[in-house]
A and B are shown apart, each in its own frame.
Chain A
Amino acid sequence: MTSTISPTRDRIAFPVTGMTCAACQGRVQRTLEQTPGVLDAAVNLMTGTATVTYDPATISPDALVGTVRDTGYGAELPVASRTAAEEQVAHDIAQEGEYQELRRKAVFTLGAALVSMILSMPLMTGHRHGAAADPFMQLVMRHVSPPLEAAAPWLYALSREVLVGALFALTLGVLLWSGRHFYTRAWAAFRHHSADMNTLIAVGTGAATLYSLVATFAPGWMLSHGIAPDVYYEAVIFIIGLILAGNALEARAKRQTSSAIRGLIALQPDTARVLRDGAELELPVSEVARGDIVVVRPGERVPVDGEIVFGSSAVDESMLTGESMPVAKHAGDRAIGGTVNRTGAFRVRATALGAESTLARIVTLMREAQGSRAPIQHLADRISAVFVPVVISIAIATFVLWYLLAADAPVGRGLAAAVAVLIIACPCAMGLAVPTAVMVATGRGAALGVLIKGGEALQRAGSLDTVVLDKTGTVTEGRPAVTDIVPARGIDPDRLLADAASLERASEHPLAEAILRAARERGLPLADPTGFEAVVGRGVRAMAGERALFAGNAAFMRDWGLDPASLADDEARLGSQGKTPVYVAANGALLGLIAIADPVRPSSRDAIARLRQLGLDVVLLTGDNRRTAEAVARALGIEHVTADVLPDGKVEEVRRLQQEGRAVAMVGDGVNDAPALAQADLGISVGGGSDIAVDAGDVTLVRPDLHGAARAIELSRRTMRTMRQNLFWAFAYNVIGIPVAAGILYPSFGILLSPILASAAMALSSVSVVTNSLRLRRARIA
């Protein structure tokens, strides 16, 4: 795979074969390194690949491969691999083609079935041998035949030979064109010792056709052996037609299961307006290079990921994040390719292109998720692996039993029942039950701004009882800010803030950053500190010109002979609100208190209430002290708080909850909390603004909003319900359908299932499973 690093540097990785030892590896690597134009080469013996950084102006990938071959080892350029989006598009084209073909075939075959039904009518009246033996057909005949005979008496005047011959010709057409693929595929599978739906259809309709052929060409032989020479041609045509119609409906429904991912791919514009040498050029997006300046006008889609370098606007990111309000963007902010620029014009410097872009990564992730399997499927997998041979065995047993036990027409009845068994059995519904639900759910999740990594994540998310929330950056903004300024008597608040900020300029503490930002926002003039000194756990001091400045806790003030008592009440009050109060003093006099806190995200409170509504135990996990943590928890309505947790301790806490027998979801940022996310039954990583960390966690929230966690869990629960419904239906359908088709109800109730009705039931069973999964697209998720 070739990737462009800069105009003068490309990188390629290609397989090298024939290396057996470290010496071989060394030789290939040295040869590559000594080749003009190669900037760097790394050869890996274990994976058998060479990764080469080279100057494309000096040497081509072909020449690099040639260089390796000259050393006596094998090498070849990697097969151009498709991106996830390209694969999806190719898949869609194939699926659309299949649907169109199935539809054409279904329409033709059902038309042929109607004609065959009319042709069968005269055969069935007058007790002539060769009447259609399908019970459904006999029922239809009773109602249709009399008016048909009145309308078209000539039809009834035709001889049996003519009618049967015409039916035979129709069947031949259907078998050779529209139904042909069932037989060729069944044969291909048979040669590999495997069997699938095609096998059942081929054996079922093949047996009926063979019987009919003998009845057509050797009726006398059959009569002499006491077998009725009935023909089943119309049943064969009807069965194939109905199954084709079912397959066409199923293909259409299956296409809808990936509509979400198609929608995402469609977001990517084809062209970008790029500034080159002062001129705006409209280029294909694939030709945009990293560092290019791209112009985005109002109403256009942003073509690439990049940093805004000029201009400002409101950008609609709803298609990627689920956030309905347009997001204000200014110079320095990141814009995501595929989002819609609403109001202003701006320019972005391209930062991530092709497969690295956010959109491409989301599409890749979704395709991987949709291909994954949920553990709940294991049972269905085990059954479908043995299903077809078992059903064929049951069909044979059915025929034998009918033959042994039936009072009259044992061959005809046995055959009808065996064919009905083969036709009604539907392994497809079992195969589709879980994957279609996974596909629809992951697509729906993406539309909600929730990226679910696959079937297993869905299943675990569906069975949670406890949610652990990391406080900083998840529940809160993750960026401390000045919340209160309490000046001592007679002190100007701006003076207090300016002095504190001047002092903190030299500090790297997160609290210092908050104070500095507050001072800058107010445009306060700051002095340059000298002689800065920090006392860990207490405070900092420095000189600003002639002024000696101090900031820290009460103990630090007392260390320097200052009495903080006058502000002690304020300190206690702020502390109880979960804020961190900092005393500030200058030249031996207290200036006041500055309180700093990490503000709670506006959405957190509602989202936590929603999580509790879903019956989940919510635990707040934080490295903060207990007082701060409890204050935040109180404000949010959380009962369980685990405070004073060291970074490593988060994993321990998750493990402890798991040992209590809980199924735990951990919600945190993908970087610091990665081990805890991995330990939890479900790791939910919270994306930070436009920077979507799609790789961490089982579930990624595109937006830093806890509602996403509630939505992920709710969607997963619904999906699990859908999967269970699908599996139950698929199993129950076969468990009930097969014995009924075999004739289990005949001795007591005289009920026999027509093979034609069996084919209709089979066609509907898989369509109904897919349709049930599609309901997830419209499920109400708060």
Chain B
Amino acid sequence: MPVDKILVLLGGLAAIAWINWYFFVAGRRRVAVAAGGALQEIEIIVAGGYDPSAIRLAHGRPARLVFDRRETSSCSEELVIPDLGIRRFLPANERTTVDVPATVERGTHEFTCGMGMLRGRLIVE
């Protein structure tokens, strides 16, 4: 096999490996912890995704999620937390508060955009 073909093959394999690592492995690591107090509070920036996208909450205390939507892309205009039966419209360039009751169960509760493309997790422990 000529050198150029070998290079393209190796380059392609490396690119595929990197893409899968970047989207499936690297993104999963960062977990933010909500600020303490009787009311746990955390701010989530909404722009092409949720930042932070994984949030650890303490069980048994209410939490306040402040979604700061810094874009007009319609993809992120709605927030859905299926486990909590929450669906909220997030106005563009505004901060929207979503309260999570203290009664929320332990475990991982996903939150997504209206179509389920953008994802985040609430980890209640």
Contact of A87 with B89 in the complex, beta carbons under 8 Å:
yes
Contact of B71 with A371 in the complex, beta carbons under 8 Å:
no
Contact of A94 with B12 in the complex, beta carbons under 8 Å:
no
The 5 closest A-B pairs by CB, nearest first: A188-B48, A371-B87, A193-B27, A192-B49, A400-B12
Residues A72-112 near B (CB distance < 8 A):
74, 79, 81-82, 87-88, 90-91, 94-95, 98
Q: Contacts of B38 on A, CB cut-off 8 Å?
A: 16-20, 45, 48
A722 to chain B, nearest CB (A): 17
Residues A186-210 near B (CB distance < 8 A):
186-198
The verdict on A431 contacting B117 (CB below 8 Å), with A95-B74, A372-B87, A373-B80 known, is yes
What are the interface flags for A595-623 relative to B under an 8 Å C-beta threshold, 1 for contact and 0 otherwise?
A: 00000000000000000000000000000
Q: Contacts of A187 on B, CB cut-off 8 Å?
A: 48
Q: Contacts of B119 on A, CB cut-off 8 Å?
A: 194, 385
C-alpha spacing A47/B20, complex, angstroms:
41
Contact of A373 with B64 in the complex, beta carbons under 8 Å:
no
Chain A: residues with Cβ within 8 Å of the partner, total of 65
Contact of B19 with A393 in the complex, beta carbons under 8 Å:
yes
Q: A636 at the A/B interface (Cβ < 8 Å)?
A: no
Q: A564 at the A/B interface (Cβ < 8 Å)?
A: no
Residues B50-84 near A (CB distance < 8 A):
50-51, 53, 60-62, 64, 71-75, 77-78, 80, 82
Q: Contacts of B26 on A, CB cut-off 8 Å?
A: 193
Q: Contacts of B32 on A, CB cut-off 8 Å?
A: none
Identify which of B19, B37, B115 contacts A18 (C-beta below 8 A): B37
Q: Contacts of B51 on A, CB cut-off 8 Å?
A: 191-192
Contact of A393 with B27 in the complex, beta carbons under 8 Å:
no
Residues A741-777 near B (CB distance < 8 A):
none
Q: Contacts of A688 on B, CB cut-off 8 Å?
A: none
A196 to chain B, nearest CB (A): 5
By beta carbon, the residue of chain A nearest B29 is A193
C-alpha spacing A18/B37, complex, angstroms:
5
Contact of A404 with B85 in the complex, beta carbons under 8 Å:
no
The verdict on A48 contacting B39 (CB below 8 Å), with A189-B48, A191-B49, A385-B119 known, is yes
Q: Contacts of A181 on B, CB cut-off 8 Å?
A: 73
Chain B residues at the A interface, C-beta cutoff of 8 Å: 1, 5, 8-9, 11-13, 15-16, 19-20, 22-24, 26-28, 37-39, 41, 47-51, 53, 60-62, 64, 71-75, 77-78, 80, 82, 85-89, 91-92, 95, 97, 101-102, 114-119
What are the interface flags for A382-396 relative to B under an 8 Å C-beta threshold, 1 for contact and 0 otherwise?
A: 001110110011001
The verdict on A392 contacting B50 (CB below 8 Å), with A15-B64, A98-B74, A188-B71 known, is no
Contact of A90 with B87 in the complex, beta carbons under 8 Å:
no
B19 to chain A, nearest CB (A): 5
Contact of A435 with B117 in the complex, beta carbons under 8 Å:
no
Q: A432 at the A/B interface (Cβ < 8 Å)?
A: yes
Contact of B12 with A399 in the complex, beta carbons under 8 Å:
yes
Contact of A367 with B49 in the complex, beta carbons under 8 Å:
no
A2 to chain B, nearest CB (A): 16
By beta carbon, the residue of chain B nearest A225 is B4
Q: Contacts of A74 on B, CB cut-off 8 Å?
A: 37
Supplied contacts A192-B51, A392-B19, A427-B117, 15 more A-B pairs, CB within 8 Å: A19-B38, A20-B38, A82-B89, A91-B78, A185-B48, A188-B71, A193-B27, A372-B87, A389-B20, A393-B19, A400-B11, A403-B8, A404-B5, A431-B115, A435-B114
Contact of A368 with B85 in the complex, beta carbons under 8 Å:
yes
Contact of B82 with A372 in the complex, beta carbons under 8 Å:
yes
C-alpha spacing A81/B89, complex, angstroms:
11
What are the interface flags for A350-362 relative to B under an 8 Å C-beta threshold, 1 for contact and 0 otherwise?
A: 0000000000000
The verdict on A371 contacting B39 (CB below 8 Å), with A47-B101, A193-B26, A435-B115 known, is no
Q: A492 at the A/B interface (Cβ < 8 Å)?
A: no
Q: A397 at the A/B interface (Cβ < 8 Å)?
A: yes
By beta carbon, the residue of chain B nearest A24 is B38
Contact of B78 with A371 in the complex, beta carbons under 8 Å:
yes
Q: A370 at the A/B interface (Cβ < 8 Å)?
A: yes
C-alpha spacing A380/B115, complex, angstroms:
11
C-alpha spacing A393/B12, complex, angstroms:
9
A623 to chain B, nearest CB (A): 34
C-alpha spacing A164/B24, complex, angstroms:
40
Q: A381 at the A/B interface (Cβ < 8 Å)?
A: yes
Q: Contacts of B39 on A, CB cut-off 8 Å?
A: 15-17, 48
Contact of B27 with A192 in the complex, beta carbons under 8 Å:
yes
C-alpha spacing A617/B28, complex, angstroms:
49
C-alpha spacing A90/B92, complex, angstroms:
10
